[in-house]
Amino acid sequence: MFMGVLMGIFTLTILSPEAIILMWVMTFLLDFDVFLEPLQKIRKMYFLSHKTGSHSFITGLLFSGIFTLIISLFRTISFFEVWLAGFIGYSIHVSLDFFAASKIPIFYPISKKEFRFLADRAVNPLLAVFSGVNLLVFIICFYTSPSYQLFIDLAFSFLFIYLTYFGIRAFLRIFIQTKLPMEQKFIPGFIPFSYLIYEKNISDNEIRFILKKSSLFSRRKKALINQSISKVSNEMEFYEIAKRISQEYRFFHKWSLIIPFFREKEDKVNIVLILAESYSELMQHKSLKRNISSYYLSIIINKKTKQIISKVDGFGSFKNWENFKF
């Protein structure tokens, strides 16, 4: 939304009001596809899922044209100008989502193949707060000293900051990933120079999942998670079942760096799959201890019959899983 505001300010003397408003609306309209999720569960159509068919440059051309056509019924406008502005706003959203953790089909409906650059977090609270503060600055300036030149100066300053931020993110992703072995994957942290490394090692006897934390200014890598599964164990069979089930869930379809955890009783086993892309360490206010959280899928399976007893997904801490009674 804030990037749409910046583009609107830069084009105040170039585009018509209708074009500027449509461009801004299009920067956030795509995410309204979350309201289609209930329909997706009924019809099982690809387009009805969040961050699927709506997050495409080609879809952007179509939607911008439809909205421009509706506006032209009530306003005398330059159709091409408004259509182009709407597409620019739509493309800003698609481009920024491509930069983040979730895979999106940028060429849908020509292809359903999904892409991502993975240079920033899918949800970055620090970046969101910064954008909110910047938007508040524009609002305050509008009601205190509404000067066109002031808005332009602020817009250029903010644009420089954002381009620097995204440039650092892109450089770090390319620089680190090119140095890593094939089995290791780069995951951006919340701040520009920090990152995680996900590693999946497959040997003759086991699969090992490792998650480490590091930064551009440190050679030391802090081990966060180290899990392994023996290929000849029952855990391997239950892990494969859990992986198949996970593809029914949107985040596990769009993110791919999985780490499994197991807890067993005599008659059943609980497999918890977490997504390394969503791993975070937050500070608890009272104890000042770290609260480790991630998006997860918890599946309970009957050992003998392999029947699925329950499936629960969500975002939570490791402590919840440790204390969960099953």
Domain of residue 253: give its range.
184-323
Same-domain check for residues 151 and 234? no
Q: How far apart are CA 180 and CA 221, in angstroms?
A: 13
Residue 290 has pLDDT above 80, yes or no: no
**Is pLDDT of 199 > 60?**
yes
Residue 238 is encoded by which pair of tokens? 């239950």
Nearest C-alpha neighbor of 306 from the set 251, 255, 237: 237
Q: Is the peptide bond before 188 cis (omega within 30 degrees of 0)?
A: no
Mean predicted confidence (pLDDT) in 267-281: 90
Task: Please compute the mean of the pLDDT values over residues 120-148 and round it to a whole number.
Answer: 92
Stretch 39-47: mean pLDDT, rounded?
Answer: 70
User: Do 251 and 273 lie in a common domain?
Assistant: yes
End-to-end CA distance of the chain: 43
How many structural domains does the chain have?
2
Residues 146 and 254 occupy one common structural domain: no
Q: Identify whether residues 59 and 108 lie together within a single domain.
A: yes
DSSP 123-188: S-HHHHHHHHHHHHHHHHHHHH---HHHHHHHHHHHHHHHHHHHHHHHHHHHHHHHHS-TTEEEEE
What is the average pLDDT score of the chain? 89
Final residue before a domain boundary, out of 146, 175, 204: 175
Instruction: Report percent pLDDT > 70 for the chain.
Output: 93
Considering the domain architecture, whether residues 142 and 249 belong to the same structural domain is answered as: no
Residue 234 CB partners (closer than 8 Å, separation 6+): 269, 303
Q: Determine the average pLDDT of the residues in 216-231.
A: 90
208 plus 171 within the same structural domain: no
* Shared domain check, 131 and 220: no
236 and 144 co-located in one domain: no
- Residues 89 and 85: their CA atoms lie apart, in Å, by 6
What pLDDT does 291 receive? 64
Paired residues of 154 in beta bridges: none
128-154 average pLDDT score = 93
Position 282 scores a pLDDT of: 56
Q: How many CA within 13 A on the CB side of residue 94?
A: 24
- Same structural domain for residues 32 and 96? yes
Residue with tokens 């481009």: 95
Is 226 within 8 Å of 210 (Cβ atoms)? yes
Task: Pick the last residue of a domain from 128, 157, 175.
Answer: 175
Q: Do residues 167 and 190 share a domain?
A: no
Q: Does 28 lie in the same domain as 147?
A: yes
pTM: 0.87
DSSP track, 192-257 = TTEEEEEEEEE-SSEEEEEEEEEETTEEEEEEEEEEEEETTSHHHHHHHHHHHHHTTSHHHHH---
Is the backbone of residue 44 left (phi > 0), alpha (psi -120 to 50) or beta? left
> What is the rounded average pLDDT of the residues 23-50?
81
Helix, strand, coil distribution of the chain in percent, nearest 5:
45, 25, 30
In this prediction, residue 95 has a pLDDT band, given cuts at 50, 70 and 90, of very high
Give me 252's structure tokens.
């596990």
* pLDDT score at 250: 82
